[in-house]
Structure 1
């Protein structure tokens, strides 16, 4: 019997590439098959070979593109658009890691030329916790929205599980927590509020050549005011974040990526009884993301972050980092 599953190829065998590879094999084997994976690092490919010996390791990006219906671009940001353009030129769909790039002008040109065959891996598009927040908002738990607050903090940057990628994650050209983490919460604000506009911001670079250690900003998501604060060295946690939506009837918030909470009339916060920590909720999120990738590749409506979403987020992020 012929294999009717869509084929997805992966460019980049780092943390994100391997994470999605495992999700494809473990979460959606009936929908997708891995056409192959490539990375310029022989060591990275050896790691993949040891963990997943049945996954083809192809010779170069062109081979990945040729073998795939959809290409997942999980390389460092500066290379995203070149691989994405090559895949689209070959008639393939593209699922790209964020950010689109670090060059706003090039990203604008790419989005203008790309059409609807691309999407970006902002995982809040498929998060069960965000679905719960959305249900609460629809049910009237918040009322008329008045404000969004984004707070992120890190014990150190990069986070402990990212130290092997510090050569770019802690360099200003491509890295930093604003691009890697804050961008997710900006996407969430855009998705639930509206297009983002930066009003004012500040950024602190206390270490030569290293990435930002503190940011602050005021922006808007549609008509909703947004306050943003982020810092390194201000928590003992690897990663701590809270996204809060306030209204005239109450508030909802998302804590540490995956915990949905709503504020009760007495002022106390009630956690969703089905909430799971990020390690346990991630498989559900990635399964939904991959289901969206199938729809994207087939030209069907999907809930993934669009290229326009990602461009708007990138514009704000780069403006903040430019100071």
Structure 2
């Protein structure tokens, strides 16, 4: 095989939920275009957990060793540390695939995007989602017509969600955490990708518990000129994580429900799933493997479908604007 036929050497900084999910997507495919070249996390417990599940993944002594072993570095650490690791990777001539948000400081995020150019992308899996592909197809076929309004609603029984308990220290703190950064950002990315630039923010955000993240948002904005209503709540619902992204137009309405399920509104007002719709637990590894294919193209300097650094920055600008209301 030629060099470009070899699996891409991907280094991973961060052995939390996202790092482990990406490793699972890589190891769950016999023909993955990516191999895990190195894994590091400052937590021995996190490394031991992932090592027990994936004993073939090479663990290294520090982040510098991850960079040295890799062609691309996946930064899946808490947000405050993202840019330090990303800049080290870029300085060594590597590309970067980063979790969102890029940073906890907008000025630093802006500077990084200006520095990095096309040598990085951000992990917004909606870029590779089968459900989103169905929405795009329906829009192209005229199911919506002229868009009139977009509504985004997220709700959680508690925050952080149960599977995030180990990361509660930062996920429920004002500086790095909260559901607007962690969850709403994905739906704002989708709004920007399918409808257009985000602007016109107004509304309210509630921080009822000192030092902890938001518990409610009620926001209006525009996406490509389309009016958007955005609501988010912690408490008052039974579901750990329920969300809808609904685009209405003069010809009909479509939505994405619970991260993965594309639905069209029937004449009686009910929403009907696409025939091939799958729940998020089944869609997630499919989308992540498609994301990895994009990482390979990005690292080779080829066109890709991943969220660009500029797109991610635009989403972060909107998210931080909401949290400052």
Pair in the same fold by TM > 0.5: yes
For 1:27, what is the secondary structure of its paired residue? Answer: coil
Deviation string 1:190-244 (CA, Å, 9 cap, x unpaired) is: 0001111142021101111110000111111111111100010021000000000
Structure 1 residue 251 and structure 2 residue 253: aligned?
A: yes
Q: Any gaps of 5 or more consecutive residues in structure 1?
A: none
- Name the residue aligned to 2:220: 218
Determine the structure 2 residue equivalent to 1:275. Answer: 277
Once superposed, what is the RMSD of the aligned Cα atoms? 1.2
Q: What is the distance in 2 between the residues matched to 1:162 and 1:98?
A: 16
For each residue in 1:258-303, what CA deviation from the matched residue of structure 2 results, as whole angstroms up to 9, or x when unmatched? 1110112332322111111100111111111111111111111111
Q: Which residue of 2 aligns with 1:81?
A: 83
* Residues in 1 aligned to 2:31 and 2:18: alpha-carbon distance in whole angstroms: 18
Which shifted more, 241-250 or 259-268? 259-268
The runs of 5 or more residues in structure 2 that have no matched partner are none
Alpha-carbon deviations, 1:160-201, whole Å to 9, x = none?
110111011001110000000000000000000111114202
C-alpha separation in 2, matches of 1:28 and 1:76? 30
Point out 4+ residue stretches in structure 1 off by more than 6 angstroms: none
Residue 186 (str. 1) matches residue 188 (str. 2) = yes
Q: What is the SS of the residue equivalent to 2:220?
A: strand
Residue pair 2:75, 2:98 contacting (<8 A) in 1 also: yes
Q: 1:198/1:82 Cα in 2 relative to 1: closer, same or farther (>3 Å)?
A: farther
> Contact conserved, 1:27 with 1:283, CA < 8 A, in 2?
no
Distance 1:177 1:316 in 2: 14
CA separation in 1, counterparts of 2:270 and 2:27? 41
Within 2, Cα distance between the matches of 1:81 and 1:8? 18
- Once the two structures are TM-superposed, the CA of residue 29 in structure 1 deviates from its matched residue by 4.2
Number of residue equivalences: 323
Do residues 296 (structure 1) and 298 (structure 2) align?
yes
Q: How does 1:58-97 map to 2 (within 5 A)?
A: 58-97=60-99
Indicate yes or no: 2:149 matched with 1:152. no
Equivalence for 1:313:
315
Preserved CA contact (<8 Å) 2:201 2:322? no
Q: Give the 3-state SS of the residue equivalent to 2:298 in structure 1.
A: helix
What are the within-5 Å matches in structure 2 for residues 83-162 of structure 1? 83-162=85-164
C-alpha separation between the residues in 1 aligned to 2:228 and 2:32?
Answer: 41
CA distance in 2, matches of 1:164, 1:198: 36
Provide the C-alpha distance between the structure 2 equivalents of 1:149 and 1:269, rounded to a whole number of angstroms. Answer: 15
Residue 11 (structure 2) pairs with residue 9 (structure 1): yes
Distance 1:101 1:183 in 2: 13
For 1:230 and 1:146, how far apart are their aligned partners in 2?
21
- Contact residue 102 and residue 314 of structure 1 kept, 8 A: no
